[in-house]
Structures are given as C-alpha cells and as structure tokens.
Amino acid sequence: MEGAGNLSAAVALYVDRAYDLFASVADAVALSRAASVWAAARAALLVPLMRVAVVLCLVMSVMLVVEKLSMALVSLCVKVFRRTPEKAYKWEPLLQEDLEKGSLPYPMVLVQIPMFNEREVYHISIGAVCTLAWPNDRLIVQVLDDSTDIAIRELVQEECHKWHLKGRNIHYISRDNRNGYKAGALKEALELDYVKKCDYVAIFDADHEPPPDFLLRSIPFLMHNPDIALVQARWKFVNASECIMTRIQEMSLNYHFKVEQQSGSSTMAFFGFNGTAGVWRIQAINEAEGWKERTTVEDMDLAVRATLQGWKFVYIGDLKVKSELPSSYKAYRYQQHRWACGPANLFKKMTIDIIMAKKVTLLKKFFLLYNFFFARRIISHNVTFFFYCVVIPLSSFFPEVEIPKWGVFYVPTIITILNSVGTPRSLHLIIIWVLFENVMSLHRCKAVYIGLLEAGRVNEWVVTEKLGNALKTKQIAGVAKKFPRKFWERFLFLELAMGVFLLTCASHNLICRTNQYFIFIFPQTISFLLMGFGFVGTHIPQAK
C-alpha cells in the first residue's frame, strides 16, 4: 500500500509538471500570436493612420501660419504708413455746442448696457456712459438688467435713479425671463418707440468703461460715411497684471485687436463685432434682420449678416475702452467654450448664406469662409490641440513615423513670435503662454466640434464672472488664493487625464527615442497637471 501511494504521488507530480510545461508553451504560443496580431494591426492600420494624421496636421499648420503672416504684414503696413481710420475715411470733429445751434449738430444716440447679476461692476459702465461728452438731450441710455437677484436689481435701479436726477435720460429695463439672453434683451429694447428717433446705438458690457470722448471720436465715422455700419474700439484691460493667467490673456487679446481686427478693417472693411465697445448704425441692424438668438455669438452673427448686406466696418485701434479679464480659470474656461463653440456653430449655419449672398464680391465671400471662419475658428484650434498635444507626443510610440523639423519647431516658433509682438512687456512669459494655450486648446477644440455637430452644450450661455474692485478689498484679498475645501470643486479631471497621457508619452520618448521631443512634452505635462489640480488663476471661495 505504501508503495502504491508513493507511485501515485510520483505520477501526480509528473502530471503537474507536464501540465505546467504545456501551459507555458500554450501561453508562449498565445503571447506570440497576440504579438504577431498586434504587429500586423499596427503596421496595417495604426502606422498609416499616424502618417495621415501627421500630413493633415502639417497641411493645417501651413494654412495657419500663412494666414497669420498675411494678417501681420497688413497690420505692419498700417502701422508703418500710419494708415489711420481718419485717413482712410472721411472724418470731421463735431463742433462744440454754440448759442445758435445748441445741440442740433449732434445726432441722437442710444447707449445700451446689458447686464446679468453684475453686483461688482454694474456701476462702472453706467457711470462711464453717463459722463460721456455728449449733450444730455441727444443721448438716451438703456440699462438692460436681466438679473435674477432682486437685491442686485435694486442696486442697479438706485444707480440709474441717481443719474436720472443729474439730468441724464436713462431708462432701467428688466425682463421676467432671459429669452435669447443678451441678444434677446438688446432686440426687445430696440423695439421701444422712443428708440425710433435714434440713428446710432453704442453697446457696452457691464464691466466696460468708455472714455468721455468715445462718441466724439466714433460717431463722425458714421455721420460722414453712409456705407459704414459699425465702429469698433479696442479693449484695455484694467486687471491684466493681477496674475499670470490674466497676463497671458492680455497677450492673446492684444494680438486679436492689433492684428486680426486691424487687418480685417484695413483690407475687407470687415471683422467680428466684439459684442461691446462698439457703435452701430441702427439702419444696418434692421437691414440685417436685427439681433438673433440662434448662437451664443450673437455679435458675430449680426456682423456677418450686416456685411452680407454690403455694409463696412471700421476699427479704431487707439480708442481704448477699459474692461476686465476673467481672473479665475473656471470663468475663463466657460468664456473660451462660448467663443470657440459659437463661431463654429455660426459657420455651419451661415455657409450657404455667404455663398448665395448677392451684395458682396467673390473675394469677400472667400475671406469670410476661409480666412475668417475656417482658418481662424476651425483650423487653428485643431492644429494646436491635435498636432502639439496628441500627434507629436503619440509619435514617440511610432519610430516609423517621421515628423519634419519645420513642422515641429519652425512653424510653431513663427506663430508664437507673431502672437507675442502685440504685448512686448510680456515677452518673458512667452513659454508660459504657449503651455497655457496648449491646455486651453483642449477645451476650444472640444467646443468647436460641439458647435459643428450642435451637440449638448452648443447653446450654453454662462455669463463670465467679473470681480470689479472686489479683489482690492482686504476681506476678499485675504482669501483670494485659498482653494475650495472640497477637492472635486478644484480638480479638473479632463486636464489631469491629458497630463497622465503626456507624462506617459514623454517618459517613453526619454527612454526609447532619440528625437528629444520629451523636452517640450514634459513642460506640457506639468501645465496640464497644474491646471488640473487647480493651481491657476485667482480662486474665490463660494459664499456659504
């Protein structure tokens, strides 16, 4: 019996060893087959897809850099030859009131100030508009308050009453709904009877502070040039030095005004209305079928429709209106989503209208479709995100795919230099600007496709948070840089996921590749993680 037991144990041992041997061979065969399948799929599908992606990104990069170089060249010529709007168009200063004519030389002007729960800044635009150098009897002010906070409504009403007692013709207008948001408020206010005696309408958001001579400098263009519909002023940022994020925003917006708006005004007499700090000819608004609520960029929508009716626009670069930049990352994200999603959605809605328009030339149609919409609003966001944040980092895993050096280094260098020249004082922040813009490209690119596909958040309207002078008070300043207590209120998981992806790509590139892409992939990783963990902008805890 004992011998039989020993024999059974020996047989069982050999069986186990045989099983382990066959299992290891099977595992090796399975792994070998899986490796061969992966290699075949990689060679047949992934590598060709990467090569196609690289080619597409390089083509888009060339399109973008050509667009930016052409705009920069136009702006440079305007500056060198001092081709100011006053030289390009007829412009004569309005004479001061005299005893015989009184205020008759001054046309009737309507000023609209749309606002929504603007506790910190409501008084800024109202006070600035009511001190404009313009006769009291030739100026009508409308404060369009869609606030849902009753206390804020009362404050705005008190401010309006104060200026009414000082002799200004000011009207407080509120609605019991927010239909159409800002566009709906502007549209309804223009339909009031007393507006019919006005020829022009100036629009200022609640945080915008026009200089006293704003109307004196802008209205003459409309008076003496009957084909001009819009005069747009430039924004000057009162809180640009508040933090790194506002400094970076200043660089981007200075480029927008000094290059994009200037070149469009000088070549095609067209640019996108900025929604504030501008004066419209009311006749042009009516001919363009007024304000529409179909997108979140009602200002750009009106501008495109007006130019299709043959109207011209003028940009005055040295007429500056004070305004505020978003100082919290959350507010900036919402703003950039609207600014990227709205134009993409408008492009989809207006392509056929632009093609079929009869009052504009083929050249202007091409400018609208390609330069204004496709290159600047679609291509630019795709290149920044897919090429620099996805394709180049991902190429670390595909040594078969080569990306030309001019696409990786020279083109982005040119684009960076062009974007930085508008703000010389911030040149030392140019690397931080690049990294910040790459992170924001994630949200802008996502917003573009939401707009094109008319997906869930296509018509989302979140009013950009404004702080006014709140940061200057001791009470707020003491807590301004503290984070919310709950981590999920601070963490941004989309940015964190991109940070992990880039960290993986950078680490693989450092260990396995020789092209040294990790030199700029690692900084991108850090920027995504910093923003993902909430270490950007000014943080104001929510009131309890």
CA distance 306 to 527: 41
Phi, then psi, of 460 in degrees rounded to 5: -70, 130
Q: Is residue 57 a contact partner of residue 383, using CB atoms and an 8 Å limit? A: yes
Of 302, 306, 124, give the one whose Cα is nearest residue 205.
124
Q: Choosing from 205, 207, 299, 301, which is the catalytic residue?
A: 299
137 is catalytic: no
146 is catalytic: yes
Q: Is residue 144 a contact partner of residue 172, using CB atoms and an 8 Å limit? A: no
DSSP 3-state assignment of 446?
Answer: helix
End-to-end CA distance of the chain: 83
**For 470, which DSSP code?**
G
**Six token digits for residue 248:** 């970076």
* Residues facing 321 on adjacent strands: 235
Q: Choosing from 146, 205, 207, 301, which is the catalytic residue?
A: 146
Q: Find all residues with CB under 8 Å of 371, minimum gap 6, and list them.
A: 67
CA distance 173 to 169: 13
**Six token digits for residue 390:** 């996805």
Phi, then psi, of 496 in degrees rounded to 5: -65, -40
504 backbone φψ class: left, alpha, beta (φ>0; ψ -120 to 50): alpha
Number of H helices, E strands in the chain: 21, 7
CA distance 497 to 504: 11
CA dihedral angle for residue 377, residue 382, residue 388, residue 394, rounded to 10 degrees: 170
Q: Is residue 138 a contact partner of residue 108, using CB atoms and an 8 Å limit? A: yes
DSSP 3-state assignment of 9?
Answer: helix
DSSP 3-state assignment of 145?
Answer: strand
**Residue positions annotated with a catalytic role:** 146, 299
